[in-house]
Amino acid sequence: MPPAPVPANESDRLATLRACSLLDTAFDDAFGDLTQLAARLTDSPMAMISLVEEKEQIFKCRVGVEADRTSRDISFCAHAILEPDRTMVVPDTTQDGRFADNPLVTGEAGIRFYAGAPLVTLEGHAIGTLCIADRQPRELGQAQVEMLASLAKAVSKTIALHRAARQVRGLALTDALTGLANRVAFMDALERAMARQRRDGLPFALLYLDLDGFKGVNDRFGHAAGDEVLRATASVLNAALRREDLAARMGGDEFACLLVGGDQPDMAATGERVRAALVQRMAVLGRAVSASVGAVTFRRPPEDAAAALARVDAVMYAAKAAGKDRVIDAEV
């Protein structure tokens, strides 16, 4: 049994699927309702919203099916997405050369009938299907085919709405100039880190940076040069942090980093690595800018997020008062 051919636009299709952020989000009632409706209106014992990933098909919602995924090699939907504008109907899988020896047909699942309507994004990529299946061979009337296609369009529109909503939320929580999290997003992440600490006892740490010499760049070279310095600082922070950490622009030329997880790094060393990398990057830009850095590891929960931020801010100002371009660390 050969697997379905890979679509010509596969890399773009996968990028779009992942941009929809469907694979790692919770079950959505709207998707569940549409899946139930597809099963009911076609009198089918099985119905699924299937997302075709690189090596798997993942069932976002399912009715009458226990497994939440299968290999893409045996996926019916991997064939259906090859024609984004057509609903694929297989009246009897044992009579179709593509599926007669498929384990989903010959094995315990015993699928004898399949119909799948592609889920097509605004970019025109088929990322999966709304599909139905039965353990008996059967025909699907034209009205039911059209109904399944209409429900698939409703699923696609729901996906587009969710994607747009996430993008709007992302913009609301992102600093437009640097692409880092903004103050609101950082404080929310800090609250969550504190909640985890109270629940699991895991420490967290904060870095707070204030750029030394930034005002001089703005005064001498203009705000475009200042913006370049801020973007370069963001790049340095992104390169220095782990994936699970968060960097944010708190306003003006002040930046903060939240480092989470039980395996806390040496904050003095981390702060020094950031400070040195920043100085090196500014030398390349020809800007006399450095950073005063405060670093605090919280072994015990602070009173609240504002208190945690005030503590690391005070340590940062101690670094500035001690001569700038240096790191001072503390532990609570």
Active site residues: 253
Of all helices (H) and strands (E), which one includes residue 82?
none
Residue 188 tokens, joined: 């929310």
Residue carrying structure tokens 């699923």: 155
Rounded to the nearest angstrom, the gap between the alpha carbon of residue 37 and the centroid of all alpha carbons in its chain is 29
User: Strands across the sheet with 204-212, in order?
Assistant: 246-251, 254-259, 204-212, 290-298, 327-331
Dihedral sign for Cα atoms in the order 270, 276, 279, 283: negative
Collapsing DSSP states into helix, strand and coil, what is residue 204?
A: strand
- Among residues 329, 323, 313, the alpha carbon closest in space to that of 212 is found at 323
CB 200 within 8 A of CB 301: no
Residue 273 near residue 329 (C-beta atoms within 8 A): no
Q: Note whether 284 and 293 are within 8 A (CB).
A: no
Closest CA to 211 of 282, 270, 266, 265: 282
Q: Are the C-beta atoms of residues 186 and 193 closer than 8 Å to each other?
A: no
For residue 293, what are the β-bridge partners?
A: 209, 327
**Tokens at 8, concatenated:** 């010509």
CA 232 to chain centre: 24
